[in-house]
Amino acid sequence: MLATASLAEEILQLKRERRAILLAHYYQEPEIQDLADSVGDSLELARRSRDFEGDVIAFCGVWFMAETAKVVNPTRTVVVPDREASCSLVESCPVEPVRAYRRLHPDHAIVSYINTSVEVKAESDILCTSRNAVAVVNSIPPEQPILFLPDRNLGDWVQKQTGRQNMTSWQGSCIVHATFAARKLVAARMEHPGARVAAHPECPPDVLALADFVGSTTAIIQYCVQTGGDEFIVMTESGVAHPLHKLAPGKTFYFIPAEHCNCSECPYMRRNTLEKLRDCLLRIEPRVEISEELMRRALVPLERMLALQ
């Protein structure tokens, strides 16, 4: 505890010296969330990164999130605690096949989940997050075909919600959400029969079919806090346990282990530590560097998304 407190003091001192803002995703370790100026999901943090006074953004999440922050803040310095904090969705969707698809299907609108590289964003017509994906797809003329990438589970769920028939989903998936098993959820419901189930749309369809609520990370938190009942089975990354316990201390939350491990943690998100956060503020690296042309192109679909209410 003393070491953690000392590290926190160092980080806050460096933050003041660097005129920095600390942004953290809900999937970060609790001690990082507690130090952050803003904790949120991808959409909230994309918006928050534009609205502060300062010089440096220390982004505690994964690399594509820091790239997004740089795109909307081209003159500011953006650093991350760990350069290797990647994302299975980003890795499932390299840019060259997307460019090839564009050449073969120039009439298609490319809707890219924010969990993509900046290069893929630059090839897209509009971006989305899990919170606004339905609204984004509905904003596209119904006669225009859509390529939705890269998460197939989110794409299939959005297609079901919108009734969109002319929509193709890329075959990427989240290393955590895609491995949640319906059989484990059924067992958990039998063990906790009074619990409501809240699930992220990156989960497989058979898991979503068993849920009482499907929504983004922020929407899941709001649902669990505001909905009556004392027990909730939460089908997303277990980092959200920290804000849930802070906002609803009288409720009980159960997290179902994924198939590949006895946990529901994202190994990429958990690469970030207080020590690495301290070091990135001290050294101002790893630093996000993107060419002006790439930032300009990626900003167009990002601003289209942010303009949607």
Q: Is 218 helix (H, G, I), strand (E, B) or coil?
A: helix
Which domains does the chain possess? 2-86+269-289 (3.40.50.10800), 89-174 (3.40.50.10800), 177-255 (3.40.50.10800)
CA distances from 90 to 35, 65, 172, 208, 261 (A): 27, 11, 8, 23, 21
Is 262 a residue whose pLDDT tops 80?
no
Q: What is the pLDDT of residue 75?
A: 93
Is 239 a residue whose pLDDT tops 90?
yes
The region that residue 181 occupies, defined by phi over 0 for left and psi between -120 and 50 for alpha, beta otherwise, is beta
Is 309 a residue whose pLDDT tops 70?
no
Query: Which of 298, 287, 271, 269 is closest to 116 using CA atoms?
Result: 298
Strand partners, 109: 146
Stretch 46-72: mean pLDDT: 91
Q: pLDDT over 90 for what percent of the chain?
A: 90
Residue 23 host element (H or E): strand 20-25
- pLDDT, tens digit, 9 for 90 and up, residues 185-201: 999 999 999 999 999 99
Q: What is the pLDDT of residue 208?
A: 98
Contact 28, 61 (CB under 8 A): yes
Contact 158, 126 (CB under 8 A): no
- Count of residues in the chain: 309
Identity of residue 221:
I
Across the beta sheet with 213-214, the strand order is: 213-214, 196-199, 231-235, 252-255
Q: What is the pLDDT of residue 172?
A: 96
- pLDDT, tens digit, 9 for 90 and up, residues 85-129: 999 999 999 999 999 999 999 999 999 999 999 999 999 999 999
Average pLDDT, the chain: 95
- pLDDT-derived band at 45 (thresholds 50, 70, 90) equals confident
- pLDDT, tens digit, 9 for 90 and up, residues 147-165: 999 999 999 999 999 999 9
Is 261 a residue whose pLDDT tops 80?
no
Between residues 279 and 47, the one the model is more confident about: 279
